[in-house]
Amino acid sequence: MKEDEIRPAALLDEYFHLLKLDAESLAKKSRDFVEVACPFCRDDGIAESFLKDGFHYRLCAACGSLYVSPRPRPGQLASYYVDAKAVRFWSQQFYKQTGMARREKMFRPRAQLIKALNERGMFSDTGMFADVGAGYGLFLQEVRALGLFDRLIGLEPEPHLASICREEGFEIIEKRVEDIKEGDLSVSVAACFEVIEHVFDPVSFLAGCKRLLKPGGLIILTTLTIDGFDLQVLWEQSRSITPPQHLNFPSIKGMSLLLSKTGLAEEEISTPGELDLDIVRNVSRQRPDARIPRFARKLAEADDAVREDFQQFLKRNRLSSHLRCIARRKR
Ligand SMILES: [Zn+2]
C-alpha cells in the first residue's frame, strides 16, 4: 500500500489548507478551552511542547504521549465537526473521490483482521459486533460481507452520517460511546478504528467502549502512536499532527496505561504499519524545506528491498506510527 492511494496529494493539499484555516479560527476561542493532564496516564508533567496552528501540543514527561492542552471543550469539538470547512471538503470531495480505494485498501483489510482474529479463537462468541464511530458505514459493509456475526450495530453520533448508514440497512445508535450505559448492549466484539485521536477524553471514551462489551468481549482499536518512525522524524512538521482533529497521540506505554486505567485486559499492542517510510519520502520530495535528519532521508530514498526490510523492523519493534490495540473486558 502507498500513501498516495488512500490520500491523493492534490486533494490532500486543499484539505490541509482548510484544516489550518479551521484550526486558526477555532484557536481564537481558546479562552474557552480547558487545560488537561496527559489523557493516557493523567500525569501533568510536561517534557516539551510546541505550538501548531494556534494549539499547544505537550509531550507527557511520565509516559511520553503527545496531546493538545488546553483543548476545545466537547461542545466546541462537536460544533467543529459539523461546521468546519475541512470536514465538509472531506465529505463532499475527498471521501467521494477516494471511497473505492479506501474501501479496498483500508476497510477490507480491517474486515480481514476481524476474520483472522476469529480464526485465532480470540472471540468469546460471534453474537454482536459494534463499530464505534461508524462514519459512512464502509467498514460495517465489509464486516457484513464476512457473514460472521448474528447482529451488527454502529455507533455514530453525527446525524447525517448515521442516516447514511441507516440507508445501507444498518442498525445505528446515534450516541457517543461515552453516553452508553452499562447493560445497554451486550457486544461480543467492538472495533474503533482511528477514533481515539479525535476524542476529548480517551479514558471516558474507552470506559464507554468497555460498557458496550459483555464480560469476555473484545475491543480492537487503532490509532497513531507518537513512538512511530514518521512522527518521530517529522514531529511538528507531520501532517498527522493536525489540530483540533488529532488531539491525542499515545506512546506504547501510554496506551498500556490507558487500558489499565480503564480496567481492560491487554491482549496485544502492536504497530503493524506499512506507511512510515512512504510518508517520510513524500514529505522529503514534496517539501524541500522540511527538516529531516539525513539518515532518515537516506532510508526513505533507499531501494525497495531496504525500505521494506526497515519497515518490517519498525513493525517488529513497535516503532511504526500505526498502532493496533486489542483488549478484553475481564470476566
Ligand atoms: Zn502520560
Q: Locate 71 and state its grid cell.
A: 483543548
**What are the CA-CA distances from residue 242 to residues 17, 86, 113, 207, 239 (Å)?**
11, 12, 28, 25, 6
pLDDT band at 206 (very low <50, low <70, confident <90, very high): very high
Report how far ligand 1's centroid is from the alpha carbon of 116 (Å).
Answer: 32
pLDDT band at 100 (very low <50, low <70, confident <90, very high): confident
Q: Would you state the pLDDT for residue 6?
A: 65
Task: Report the pLDDT averaged over residues 71-78.
Answer: 95
- Is residue 1's pLDDT more than 70? no
Domain boundaries, the chain: 100-329
Q: How far apart are CA 169 and CA 145, in angstroms?
A: 13
Q: Would you state the pLDDT for residue 60?
A: 98
Q: Would you state the pLDDT for residue 18?
A: 93
Report how far ligand 1's centroid is from the alpha carbon of 117 (Å).
Answer: 30
Task: Report the pLDDT averaged over residues 97-118.
Answer: 90
Which of 10-19, 215-224, 276-285 has the lowest average pLDDT?
A: 10-19
Q: Would you state the pLDDT for residue 244?
A: 95
Report how far ligand 1's centroid is from the alpha carbon of 167 (Å).
Answer: 41
Report how far ligand 1's centroid is from the alpha carbon of 232 (Å).
Answer: 17
pLDDT band at 103 (very low <50, low <70, confident <90, very high): confident
Report how far ligand 1's centroid is from the alpha carbon of 226 (Å).
Answer: 12
In this predicted model, which residue has the larger pLDDT, 233 or 4? Answer: 233
**What are the CA-CA distances from residue 63 to residues 59, 70, 141, 149, 298 (Å)?**
9, 19, 37, 37, 30
Report how far ligand 1's centroid is from the alpha carbon of 245 (Å).
Answer: 19
- Is residue 224's pLDDT more than 70? yes
The per-residue b/e assignment along 133-159, b for 16 or more CB within 10 angstroms, e otherwise, is bbbbbbbbbbbbeeebbeebbbbbbbe
Report how far ligand 1's centroid is from the alpha carbon of 323 (Å).
Answer: 17
* Helix (H) / strand (E) containing 131: strand 128-132
**What are the CA-CA distances from residue 270 to residues 20, 124, 143, 160 (Å)?**
31, 21, 22, 34
Can you give the pTM of this predicted structure? 0.94
Q: Name the fold adopted by 100-329.
A: Rossmann fold (3.40.50)
User: What is the chain's mean pLDDT, rounded?
Assistant: 94
- Is residue 87's pLDDT more than 80? yes
- The single residue listed with the C-alpha cell 512538521 is 237
Give the CA radius of gyration of the chain: 19
pLDDT in tens, 311-327: 999 999 999 999 999 99
pLDDT in tens, 6-63: 667 778 888 899 999 999 999 999 999 999 999 999 999 999 999 999 999 999 999 9
